[in-house]
Amino acid sequence: MPSQWPPPPPPPPPRNSTTVDSSRATTYTSSGNPQQQQQQGYLQQQPPPNSKNNNGVAYCYSTPSVPGAPVTSNTNTPFPPPPPHRPLVPNKLLVVPSLLNNGSYPNTIAPPPSTITNTPPYHPPPPPPPRMPTYTTTPSSTFTSEPPQQQQQQQRHPKEPPPRIDPSQIPRIPCFTRPKNEPAFLYNPDTTEKPPEAYERYVVAPNTRNASPRIMRCTTFVVPQNKSIADKCNIPLGLCIMPFATGTDDEQVPTITYSHDDEPIRCKSCQAYFNPFDSIPQHYSNTNNDPNTTNNNTTMYTCIFCKSSTPISSSSFSSSTVASSYGIVDHIVHGKYNVRQTMRQPYYLYAIDTTYWNRASHALRHFVIPQLQKEYKMILQTNTTTTTTYQPNSTHPPKIGFFLFDGHACYFPYFQSNQIQLAVMADFTEDPFCPIPLNMFTYSVVVMEQEEEETSILDQVLDAIPSLLQSTTTTLAAAEATEVSIRAAMSVLRSALAETGGRGTTITSLLPNSTTTPVSSINSKNNPSSTSHPTDSATFYKKLGEDCHMESIRLDIVLLTTTTSLYNTKNSSTAISILGEVCNATCGKLRRLDICSSWQDDECPLALELSKLCTIWSTATDAVLKLRISNGIRLKSRHAYLGNGPGFLVSSGGLLLDMSPELEMAHVGAETCIVANLEHSVGGIPAKSNHKIYFQAALLYTTPFGQRRVRVMNLCLSSTTLPSIVFRYADYASIAVLMSRQVISDILDNSKDDSSGGAIQNNNNSAISIARENLIETTVQILTCYRLHTTAIKSPIGQLILPEALQLLPIWSLSMLKSKTLRLSSDSSPWYDRAYHMLAIQVACPALVTLLVHPNMYRVDTCKNGEGELVRPKPTASTTSWSTGGGNEDLIRANCYRPYVRLPESVQCSISCMEDEGVYIIDDCFVLYVYVGKNVCREVLLELFSVTYAAELTNTKSSMDSISTSTHLGKQTRNILLALRNWYYPERPSSSPIVIVSAEMDLQYLMVDDPFPQEKGYVDYLCLLHRRIKQFVEAKEQYK
Work out the average pLDDT over 869-876: 82
Local structure of 443: helix, strand or coil: strand
CB under 8 Å to 155, separation ≥6 — which residues? 34, 109, 110, 111
Q: What's the confidence (pLDDT) of residue 946?
A: 87
Is the N-terminal amide bond of 133 cis, ω within 30° of 0?
Answer: no
Euclidean distance between CA atoms 738 and 729, whole angstroms: 16
Euclidean distance between CA atoms 994 and 603, whole angstroms: 8
Q: Report the predicted TM-score, pTM, of the whole model to 2 decimal places.
A: 0.81
Torsion angle (degrees, nearest 10) of CA 17, 18, 24, 28: -110
- Beta carbons of 744 and 644 less than 8 angstroms apart: yes
How many CB atoms neighbour CB 448 within 10 A?
15
Tens-place pLDDT, residues 818-862: 998 898 865 556 677 888 899 899 889 999 999 999 999 999 999
- Beta carbons of 693 and 632 less than 8 angstroms apart: yes
Q: Which amino acid type is present at position 743? A: V
Work out the average pLDDT over 247-252: 60
Euclidean distance between CA atoms 284 and 304, whole angstroms: 18
Q: What's the confidence (pLDDT) of residue 756?
A: 42
Euclidean distance between CA atoms 664 and 682, whole angstroms: 29
Q: What's the confidence (pLDDT) of residue 511?
A: 79
* pLDDT of 70 above 70: no
Phi-psi region of 747 (alpha: psi -120 to 50; beta: other; left: phi over 0): alpha
360 vs 451, more confident: 360
- Beta carbons of 367 and 612 less than 8 angstroms apart: no
- Beta carbons of 458 and 400 less than 8 angstroms apart: yes
409 vs 22, more confident: 409
Least confident segment among 65-69, 417-421, 563-567, 645-649: 65-69
Euclidean distance between CA atoms 963 and 943, whole angstroms: 9
Work out the average pLDDT over 262-276: 90
90 vs 789, more confident: 789
Least confident segment among 5-19, 521-535, 901-915: 521-535
Choose among 302, 299, 252, 250: nearest CA to 275.
302
Residue 382 binned pLDDT confidence (cut-offs 50, 70, 90): low
Euclidean distance between CA atoms 959 and 604, whole angstroms: 8
Q: What is the DSSP letter of 950?
A: G
Euclidean distance between CA atoms 965 and 986, whole angstroms: 27
Q: What's the confidence (pLDDT) of residue 855?
A: 92
CB under 8 Å to 813, separation ≥6 — which residues? 739, 775, 776, 779
Euclidean distance between CA atoms 159 and 161, whole angstroms: 7
Q: With helix as H, strand as E and coil as C, how does 524-538 read?
A: CCCCCCCCCCHHHHH
CB under 8 Å to 998, separation ≥6 — which residues? 931, 932, 934, 950, 951, 953, 954
Q: What is the DSSP letter of 112?
A: P
- Beta carbons of 948 and 956 less than 8 angstroms apart: no
- Beta carbons of 677 and 314 less than 8 angstroms apart: no
Local structure of 603: helix, strand or coil: helix
CB under 8 Å to 849, separation ≥6 — which residues? 733, 736, 737, 740, 812
3-state helix, strand and coil shares in percent for the chain, rounded to the nearest 5: 30, 20, 50
- Beta carbons of 524 and 571 less than 8 angstroms apart: no
How many CB atoms neighbour CB 436 within 10 A?
15
Euclidean distance between CA atoms 354 and 470, whole angstroms: 11
Euclidean distance between CA atoms 812 and 843, whole angstroms: 17
- Beta carbons of 287 and 279 less than 8 angstroms apart: no
229 vs 982, more confident: 229
Least confident segment among 138-147, 340-349, 681-690: 138-147
Burial of 190 (0-12, 13-18, 19+ CB in 10 A): middle
Q: What's the confidence (pLDDT) of residue 17?
A: 36
Least confident segment among 279-283, 944-948, 996-1000: 279-283
Q: What's the confidence (pLDDT) of residue 908?
A: 87
* pLDDT of 774 above 70: yes
Tens-place pLDDT, residues 678-733: 999 998 998 887 889 999 999 999 988 788 999 999 999 999 999 999 999 999 99
Q: What's the confidence (pLDDT) of residue 158?
A: 44
Give the phi and the psi of residue 515 in degrees, each rounded to 5: -55, -45
154 vs 617, more confident: 617
Distances from the Cα of 705 to the Cα of 388, 618, 701, angstroms: 13, 12, 11
Euclidean distance between CA atoms 749 and 760, whole angstroms: 11
Work out the average pLDDT over 455-478: 74
Length of the chain: 1040
Work out the average pLDDT over 48-53: 37
Euclidean distance between CA atoms 401 and 169, whole angstroms: 56
Q: What is the DSSP string of 298-319?
A: EEEEE-TTT--EEEE-GGGHHH
* Terminal alpha carbon distance of the chain: 39
Work out the average pLDDT over 562-591: 73
Least confident segment among 247-256, 686-695, 797-806: 247-256
Is the N-terminal amide bond of 830 cis, ω within 30° of 0?
Answer: no
Helix (H) or strand (E) holding 726, with range, is: helix 723-728
Euclidean distance between CA atoms 264 and 315, whole angstroms: 11
- Mean pLDDT, the chain, rounded, equals 74
Local structure of 507: helix, strand or coil: strand
Euclidean distance between CA atoms 20 and 60, whole angstroms: 6
Interhelix angle 809-818/765-789, nearest 10 degrees: 170
Distances from the Cα of 240 to the Cα of 245, 737, 1030, angstroms: 11, 8, 33
Residue 33 binned pLDDT confidence (cut-offs 50, 70, 90): very low
CA–chain centroid gap for 533, Å, is: 35
Euclidean distance between CA atoms 194 and 406, whole angstroms: 56
C-alpha gyration radius of the chain: 31
Which residues are 187's β-sheet partners?
204
Local structure of 766: helix, strand or coil: helix
b/e code 128-148 from CB counts within 10 Å (16+ = b): eeeeeeeeeeebebbbbeebe
Handedness of CA 614, 619, 621, 625 (dihedral sign): negative
Q: What's the confidence (pLDDT) of residue 600?
A: 55
Q: What's the confidence (pLDDT) of residue 319?
A: 66
Helix (H) or strand (E) holding 743, with range, is: helix 732-749
- Beta carbons of 857 and 922 less than 8 angstroms apart: yes
Q: Which amino acid type is present at position 806? A: L
Q: What's the confidence (pLDDT) of residue 858?
A: 93
Q: What's the confidence (pLDDT) of residue 330?
A: 92
Euclidean distance between CA atoms 924 and 933, whole angstroms: 19
Q: With helix as H, strand as E and coil as C, how does 540-602 read?
A: HHHHHHHHHHHCCEEEEEEEEEECCCCCCCCHHHHHHHHHHHHHHHCCCCEEEEEECCCCCHH
Distances from the Cα of 245 to the Cα of 12, 217, 240, 435, 874, angstroms: 57, 11, 11, 39, 27
Which residues are 708's β-sheet partners?
702
Interhelix angle 483-496/534-550, nearest 10 degrees: 10
How many CB atoms neighbour CB 924 within 10 A?
20
Helical ranges in 829-955 per DSSP H: 831-841, 889-896, 938-945
Work out the average pLDDT over 790-804: 89
